[in-house]
Each structure stands twice: as structure tokens, then as C-alpha cells.
Structure 1
């Protein structure tokens, strides 16, 4: 018997891999983290290598995950940095283990104090280019198992296939350019989340949900809507007011 969850996963893979050639990379990777968080027992975030070769976080399934990724960048230490720099997956690692304490001596105690219990990652790559990683961060049981990591890799590979949908997009320079554009767009989206959260008096996570929902219902790019909101131009419907 095919379960509803199996159907939902199949639809997610088709959605990720079936993006048009002029896809919005940031929107694609936002959807990847959303699907990962929906189907796996973990929060999800993406770290990438920017055009200078430095690790940067690109997106996260929620604000807590985003902060965990930013902490690692500030400390220059942690699983998200390691996974973005590596070509290999990071198996599930408990943060209260001696291995984690020895590997990330500054990040580990900070993460444990914030209730992060385990980490894992799978690589995000095209056939000839390592782009970064999908990071899985757990704050409560159950923890991801090997089947969860296989599913995480399938979802990540589907997104990577969308990046190489056209021959010219598969070129290294073009893929890196797209990622850099997505990194720049991320900053605008974070500004828009803050503006909307303040105006609607909601959490950052709820503000992002409202932004994405409005962008989809009005069929406009998320980055374009975010630029308007960050500049103070908030549509009445986004503010909860009828036309």
C-alpha cells in the first residue's frame, strides 16, 4: 500500500527537480529545507561556498536553525562549516559525545546550552562541482537514522539536478553566480522578515511564512516581494487588511 507520506515525498522530489530553466535558486533551496524539515525528524539549513570560497549560510527551515548556522560562522567552527567544506556526508553525531566536544570545542557547549542534541549533513553538489551541504539539526528525539539521511540526499540531489537542468547552467561559473545572487537575495529577505514581523507583531518564522504565502498567492518572485517590503512598501493583504 502506498502511504500518504510516500506520495508527498514523491511530489516533493518532482517539484524540486522539475523547476524551469530560469528558476529562482533561493526559492528552490528554501523549498528544499522546508521539505527536509517536513519529512525528517530535524530542522534543516543550507550552507554553501560563496564565490570567494568562504562558507556562508543560505537558508534555514526556521529562525533557530538560522541562528545555529550563524553561530558557527561567527566561531569559524562547527558541523555546518565542516559539511560545506567537505565532499562527504556527515553521519549523525550526538553533541554530548567526546567526539563532538573534541571536534568543535567552542560550538558544542553553546549548542548543548541551546538544546541542540545532534547534527548530520549530506552534500549539495552537481556532477562536477561541490556547492555546499544540507545540514540537519536535532533538538529532540527521534534522531535521523540512515534511511532519513538517504532521503535527505535524494531531496538534495533533486534540487541539484534542477540547477543543472540546462547545459549552460551546468557550467561552474554560472552555478556559482546563481548561488552568489541567492546569497545577496537572502539578506533582503531577512530584512523583509524583520520589517513584517515588527508591523504584524509576529515571530520571524511566522513573518517568513506570510511572505512566502503572499508571494505564491500573487505569483511573484519571493525576492521581488521582499525588496518591496524591506523598502517599506507593504501590500494591504500582507498586513492583514482587505482591499
Structure 2
């Protein structure tokens, strides 16, 4: 018997909580968050941006590493519902990006999203008390305005992600929060390099390379960024990673 939506949601929170306790890796956690968001909220793609602690926002994870989606996720860190969401600290939604493009509300994001095949978008903030540290974006291929329940569940998932980023540290201390966010984004840069190495070696696209990297890290019970660093310094070879596939 297949699980009900409520059962899948409950299992997601249990899985995320388990990730916090055992072998926590924040980038792997965020990647899993976006994948579960796609599954549970019946959207076609999801991504996370984080504060770089210097007044800017940068992409940290996505449900796919497809090149056009990675480019779109980078654009949304500067414009679109995700950018508005972190600026205002509240959910932002649009049920028809074609209309937004015509009105030039988001002159860079809306055309890029349409070119990637998406017609609707929404974003919910990742908040620590009154401070917004990032956002979770949800994209749909159909022009459908997300309902209140989807936004509410998305917000709950974003709240869990915020707890995951802080990793049970003394979150009230702003300097620890800034340190963790900056470290997360530095690790993401290392992973981008590792993806390129694997893609070139294996003749695969970036999404397949990222999937192989995650699979190898899970199999070795190691952190995603740790394995990426080993690829960079030659401790682990691309052949080792693909052999685990």
C-alpha cells in the first residue's frame, strides 16, 4: 500500500531530523530538502539560497544540477520571488510568470524561468527569529498559483532547514551564524569544482556528476564537501567515485 501524503510528510521530517543527528552534512541536507520539497509539494523544481553575510545572496542547493536550472537558481539570488522573499521576510508567490514578464516585474528572472519551462514560482523565507538567512524556492511548469497549504508546508520545511544549517549550535550568537553560513557557501564552491572534474572525466552532465558524488559520499559515510576536497587534492580519483555507481 502506498503512503498517504501525510505519511510521506511525517517520514520526511523524521528523515531530516535523523540527518541532523547522524553524519550531518549541511549541503547534502539542503539537497535532500529540495528533492523532498519536489516530492511532497508537487512542484517541478526547488532550490535554496543563503545569505553570504555581506549583504548578498547565493545559491546553495537545488533539486537538479541541470545546467539551465543552475543558471536560473543563480539569477534568482538577485531577482525574482526568492529575492523579494528574503528582502521582505515573507512568502512571495506568482501563478503566472508570463504575466510577470509582460509587466516586467522581474525582467531577468521571469524570462529565464519561462525559457527553462516554468510558469509559476513561489518562495518561503528561512528565518531565525526576526533574521532571514535564506529562502526556499518552488517552481512549477503549469501556471498555477500555489495554495495556502503548499505555502504552509513549504514554510515548515524551510524552518527545518534553518535548524539544520545552524546544526544545534548556539544560534542566538550572530557571529556563529555568520561563520556557519559562510562555511556552507565555501563548501558549495568546492563541490562545484568537484562536479566539473567528474563531468569531464565521466563524460556526463553536471546533474549526473553531482548524483555520483552524493552516492559515493553516502556509501563511504563521509561528508559531501569532504569527498569533494579529496577529489581536488587527488586523494580520491574520479574513477573511484564512478566505480561506486
* TM bucket normalised to smaller: 0.7 to 0.9
The number of aligned residues is 240
Instruction: Determine helix, strand or coil for the equivalent of 1:103.
Output: coil
Matched, 1:234 2:241: no
Deviation at 1:97, TM superposition (A): 1.2
Q: Residues 205 and 144 from structure 1, CA distance in 2 versus in 1: closer, same or farther, beyond 3 angstroms?
A: farther
**Separation in structure 1 between the aligned mates of residue 143 and residue 191 of structure 2, nearest angstrom:** 31
Paired with 2:100 and 2:94, the residues of 1 have a C-alpha distance of 14
Q: Which runs of 5+ in 1 are unaligned?
A: none
Contact kept in structure 2, 1:118 and 1:143, CA below 8 Å: yes
- Residue 79 of structure 1: how far off its partner (Å): 2.4
How is 1:25-104 mapped onto 2 (pairs within 5 angstroms)? 25-40=26-41, 41-63=43-65, 64-73=68-77, 76-98=78-100, 101-104=103-106
Q: How many Å apart are 1:130 and its aligned residue?
A: 1.1
CA separation in 1, counterparts of 2:130 and 2:230? 37
Aligned partners of 1:163 and 1:170 also within 8 Å: no
Q: Report Cα offsets for 1:181-203 as digits up to 9, x if no partner.
A: 01001111111111111212222
* Equivalence for 1:209: 211
Report deviation, 1:153: 1.1
- 5+ residue gaps, structure 2: none
Shift of 1:178: 0.7
Assess if the C-alpha contact under 8 Å between 2:96 and 2:144 holds in 1. no
SS in 1 for 2:103: helix
State TM-score, norm by structure 2.
0.85
Aligned Cα RMSD in Å?
A: 2.7
